[in-house]
Amino acid sequence: MPGFDNNTMHAENVDFRNVVDVQPQVLADGQLLIGSAVAPKIRVGTLASAGGTITITPGAGTINLEAGGSVPLTFTAENATTCAPILNNLNIVGTATNGINTTAAGSTLTISMATPFTGDFSFENNAVATPRVLMVENNDTDPGSYAAVAISAEPLGGDPYLFFEVDGATRYYSLGIDNSIAGDPLKLTNNVNPSSGDALVSVTSTGVITLFNDLDVTEGGTGVSTLTSHGILMGNGAGDIQATAEPSDGQLLIGDTGGFPILGTLTAGAGIGIANAAGSITITAGATVPTTFTAENASTCTPAVNNLNIVGTATNGINTTAAGSTMTIAMASPYSDGDFTFSTATAAADRALTVSNSDNSAAASAAHLQVSVGGAVSTGDPYINLLVSGAGTYSLGIDNSDSDEFKITTGASPSAGTELFTMTSAGVITLANDLDVTEGGTGVSTLTSHGILMGNGAGDINATAEPSNGQLLIGKTGDFPQLAQIQPGPGIAITSGAGSITVSAWGGGVSWTVETVNLNFTVNKGIVANKAGLLTVTLPATAAIGDILEITGINTAVGWRVAQNANQRIHLGAISSTAGVGGYIEATAIRDSVKMVCVVAGASTEYNVLSSVGNLTIV
């Protein structure tokens, strides 16, 4: 057969053109024998890339194939629409049977969840200068358009909480229930969940608040540690909180423009009677005020503790079915706009609205809660409200009318009632009441100016009076330390000054200085008066027995005068100066001199003249 030699077919000698003569056909680099469905059945050809995505390089007995051109940048979704990945990311989602449906149009990806949804609900994307939000939202802008969410975990599971993180910066904050300790307190921590890290703020179910750090006045604290018993506290800018005296029966705190409010009683005008008593003021008038009201159904309503409740009917609420201790609320899908409310009276049973992760096999089985409102136009608050009907209420959430501060109040929302706890986005905390010592506070709101603070167990911090010059706080077994001065023993002289105590031995000598301006004497010191006029030197505020004072003049005839403080005196032999500030001894000639010794110690000191030169004047 042509083209075969010793059972070997040589391609260069094969011709499939259906002619008799054998002609060489497979001669070029990269040529192949390729089968064909029609005659001739085997043909000579080369490889080709129809889409231009493969680069083909023929060689002598070789063919090199490489990817060429571009890689497709779009993909077809399950509903046949085109999806374009952003920054090399392509989201691959499940089908309706797996809990999530997707539809795509342009750059928008819509996700809808089957009911009920199981597992984690999570999405993640890197988007420069673009927030990513997972929310339960009421986007109506009416002031009453609120939104509410609940998070729960099982008793042996993890924490129900909100978690905030700056990725890579090791900055964490968690707000939720610490399910790992008794009482399940609400905590704000600096870690990945409420049961780890430092408890920056902790609130028990009974309303007891614990802070990680004590508070200064500038941070919402008091700045003081003692308060007038039964007094009323007043703000003082960034300074210490002020307190009134104890108000007497019927006294009120009445404003005084530009100054602190003043305690006073109401003044009765014409036709008004005022009776003051312990903790009460009775005001009477000539006419009576109605205490009952007529409802729309013509029945009479009497408010309880000044409250009148107006409620709707069952047709305006949500229908419920109940079996045993379980209440089931059925909502249409999608649920229409409006409030989601259910209410019933059931003895000895709980009613709960929850978002629950019922897994109890792993510590990480947590649940998250988010509440949001429309935005800048809406002044409604995202919050949680706790209410004991007819008694008291607490609200926890954001006050959208006050710089979006996080608050706990005694009102129906964070923007109503007394603000028990307030925290700004910068972490500045304000409390309605001072913190007790047991909670890291002082228990009081005023401190003695310059006084020294002393602990008192779990009681309020105590403070001394302002220490006078030279006083020290000296221990007293079984009692508070006492302010006192060191007493000198034999041969010891003690001189007290502002922030100083000088202990010296008698006979240590006198040091001399030349003085030209009025000054106070220092014990065991000599003064050379060189003022161009009268130099007045005042006795020390206190002195010890044996302290020496000396003075001499070198300038003018009436060159010096030794003045006295209150209750002090100077004795020149049988002549004594007038006691107190009016008394003194002074020179009459340029070189007059005097040397005195302290003979009565303390503040009411007295001095004897040991020696003198000149005819001194003593008054």
CA angle 77, 83, 125 (to 5 degrees): 110
Structure confidence by residue, pLDDT tens digits, 426-461: 999 888 888 888 988 888 888 899 989 999 999 989
Confidence at residue 123, expressed as pLDDT on a 0 to 100 scale: 54
Residue 192 has pLDDT above 90, yes or no: no
Confidence at residue 366, expressed as pLDDT on a 0 to 100 scale: 84
Superfamily of domain 492-618: gp9 (2.60.120.640)
Q: Which of 192-206, 304-318, 353-367, 485-499 has the lowest mean pLDDT?
A: 304-318
Residue 414 pairs in a beta bridge with none
Cα separation of 322 and 417, whole Å?
A: 35
Type of residue at 525 = K
Mention every residue, 6+ apart, whose C-beta is less than 8 A from residue 322: 328, 344, 346
Mention every residue, 6+ apart, whose C-beta is less than 8 A from residue 131: none
Confidence at residue 139, expressed as pLDDT on a 0 to 100 scale: 74
| Higher local confidence (pLDDT), 397 or 146 | 397
Backbone torsion region of residue 324, taken as left when φ is above 0, otherwise alpha when ψ lies between -120 and 50, otherwise beta:
left
The DSSP secondary structure of 502-538, one letter per residue, reads EEEETT---EEEEE-S-EE--SSEEEEE--SS-EEEE
Residue 382 has pLDDT above 60, yes or no: yes
Backbone angles phi, psi at 321, to 5 degrees: -125, 145
| Higher local confidence (pLDDT), 471 or 19 | 471
Residues of the chain with CATH 2.60.120.640: 492-618
Structure confidence by residue, pLDDT tens digits, 552-594: 999 887 789 999 999 999 999 999 999 999 999 999 999 999 9
Mention every residue, 6+ apart, whose C-beta is less than 8 A from residue 441: 214, 215, 221, 222, 434, 435
Structure confidence by residue, pLDDT tens digits, 322-366: 444 344 444 443 444 455 555 667 677 666 666 677 788 988 888
Residue 199 pairs in a beta bridge with 189
Q: pTM for this structure?
A: 0.29
Q: Which of 61-65, 394-398, 450-454, 596-600 has the lowest mean pLDDT?
A: 61-65
Span 123-131, average pLDDT: 62
Structure confidence by residue, pLDDT tens digits, 151-171: 888 887 788 988 777 776 667
Confidence at residue 268, expressed as pLDDT on a 0 to 100 scale: 84
Neighbours of 145 (CB within 10 A): 17
Q: Which of 151-155, 279-283, 515-519 has the lowest mean pLDDT?
A: 151-155
The DSSP secondary structure of 103-162, one letter per residue, reads EEETTEEEEEE-SS--S--------TT-------B----STT-------EE-TTS--BEE
